Amino acid sequence: MKKQEKIVAFGEIMLRLTPPDYTTISQARNFVANYGGGEANVLVSLSHLGHQTEFLTKLPDNQLGDSAIKHLMGHGVETKHVVRGSSNIGMYFVETGFGGRPSKVLYNRKHSAITRIEEAEVDFDEIFKDATWFHLSGITLALGENVRKVAFKCLEYCEKYGVTVSFDFNYRSKLWTIDEARPHFKKVIPFVDVLFANHFDLNTILEIPLDSEDVDTKTKKIELSKKLIAGSKVKYVFGTERVVHTASENSLSSYCVCKNGEYKSEEPIRFAIYDRIGGGDAFASGVVHGLIKNFDEPEYALKFGLATSILAHTLYGDVSTLSEKEVQEFIDTSGNAAIQR
């Protein structure tokens, strides 16, 4: 009997503190508080798109941990396997950019609860026996050996139960160096079905060689992605291309490489930005949604991912709360229906 869809993710959810009205941290006398984190953002978006979701993490057993759980539950994300313990929640500060001044992110997460998570605290069988999809990002792998052990145990159980795995590179130089990250990224790839990556990730981190350096970025992405797909179980490589006009206005396009060929949005879409944080997570959630809807047609996933990401830039906070209908209406009215093969 076919399993009922359940999307699981593992990662850290953090307290986000933002100075209001585009002010800087040095100007701030108060902060707006909400919650976010890569995998958690993906699940919240997927929940609003109509999917059953469950988040695995560790949170402090205090009011901050309670509030993070309320945030997830308020968006329809299941939290029954969230581990409680330790005393600190990961935090980050966001200076929202405007015009010529870019946004800035400052992390305070070194000794957060998730870094204390232990394999023995997690019931992997109970979580994954009825799961159909698992999402993970490279940010989570950067959070320490304890976290990596749990992440790779999740991947082993995905293999055991036939769970589709998506992985977003999300390399962050503020968290670790390329040399520190490389062996762990390479270890993830054999488990991955759907990959979110760019040519830097594939060439520099995974060390997939280029036949020639004297080619444009688009050619590099296609060549490297094809080489990865040919030598692994990865079925799709998705990514975005961003042009920054100002902190308040960007253009975005998307692409996909698979065994059947390459796809890309024909023209970049230019749009105004209210809050950029979480745009990549929204793209991932839109792609996952599109693939679940029609796994054999990446064109739909590509369109839906790009539209979800662009719309997420118009919402305050890390998460997209858009319904499938709202995203589809944007696709239908914006011209984001043209995909070039």
The model's pLDDT over 219-276, given as tens digits with 9 standing for 90+, comes to: 788 899 999 999 999 999 999 999 999 999 999 999 999 988 898 887 899 999 998 9
Rounded Cα–Cα distance for residues 180 and 187 (Å): 13
Q: How far is CA 160 from CA 63, 149, 153, 166, 188, in A?
A: 36, 17, 10, 16, 15
pLDDT in tens, 132-155: 999 999 999 999 999 999 999 999
**Residue 19, in any domain of the structure:** no
| pLDDT the model gives residue 1 | 42
The parent domain of residue 134 ranges over 7-12+38-62+75-80+124-340
pLDDT value of residue 118: 97
Q: Is residue 85 part of a domain?
A: no
H helices present in the chain, as ranges: 38-48, 63-74, 124-128, 138-141, 145-161, 178-188, 199-200, 217-230, 279-293, 298-312, 324-334
d(CA 338, CA 254): 11
- Which pLDDT belongs to residue 261? 86
Cα–Cα distance between 114 and 147 in angstroms, integer? 7
Taking the C-alpha atoms of residue 317 and residue 290, their distance in angstroms, rounded to an integer, is 23
Q: How does 301-332 read in b/e, with b if 16+ C-beta sit within 10 Å?
A: bbbbbbbbbbbbbebebbbbebebeebeebbe
pLDDT confidence of residue 171? 94
Determine the average pLDDT of the residues in 326-340. 78
**Residue 59 to residues 16, 102, 130, 187: CA-CA distances in angstroms?**
15, 31, 24, 26
29 inside domain = no
CA separation for the pair 85, 121 (Å, rounded): 10
Q: How far are the Cα atoms of 21, 197, 205, 316, 323 from residue 138, in angstroms, in the given order?
A: 31, 10, 11, 24, 27
Among all chains, which residue has been given the structure tokens 């280029």? 210
**Mean pLDDT score across all residues of the chain:** 93
* Number of domains comprising the chain: 1
Q: Are 166 and 133 in contact (CB under 8 A)?
A: yes
Residue 92 forms part of a structural domain: no
Percent of the chain residues past pLDDT 70, beyond the cut: 96
Encode pLDDT of 46-83 as tens digits.
999 999 999 999 999 999 999 999 999 999 999 999 99
Task: Point out which residues pair with 18 in neighbouring strands.
Answer: 32
Distances (CA, A) of 182 to 186, 207, 231, 246: 6, 9, 17, 32
233 belongs to a structural domain: yes
Q: What is the pLDDT of residues 303-316, one digit of tens each?
A: 999 999 999 999 99
pLDDT band at 338 (very low <50, low <70, confident <90, very high): low
Q: What is the rounded distance in angstroms from the CA atom of residue 117 to the CA atom of residue 111?
A: 11
The length of the chain, given as a count of residues: 341
Q: What is the pLDDT of residue 216?
A: 75
pLDDT per position as a tens digit, 170-217 = 999 989 999 999 999 999 999 999 999 998 999 999 999 988 777 777
Please report which confidence band the pLDDT of residue 339 belongs to, taking 50, 70 and 90 as the band edges. low
Indicate the range of 97-101, 210-214, 321-325 predicted with least confidence: 210-214
Is 19 a residue whose pLDDT tops 80? yes
User: What's the token pair of residue 70?
Assistant: 């309320």
Q: Report the alpha-carbon distance of residue 89 to residue 15 in Å, rounded.
A: 7
User: Active site residue: 193, 201, 275, 281, which one?
Assistant: 281
Check: pTM over 0.85? Answer yes or no.
Answer: yes
Q: Is 281 a catalytic residue?
A: yes
Residue 285 domain-assigned (yes or no): yes
The CATH number of the domain holding residue 278 is 3.40.1190.20
Tell me whether residue 167 is in a domain. Answer: yes
Tell whether 49 is covered by a domain.
yes
Q: Supply 126's token pair.
A: 């109970």
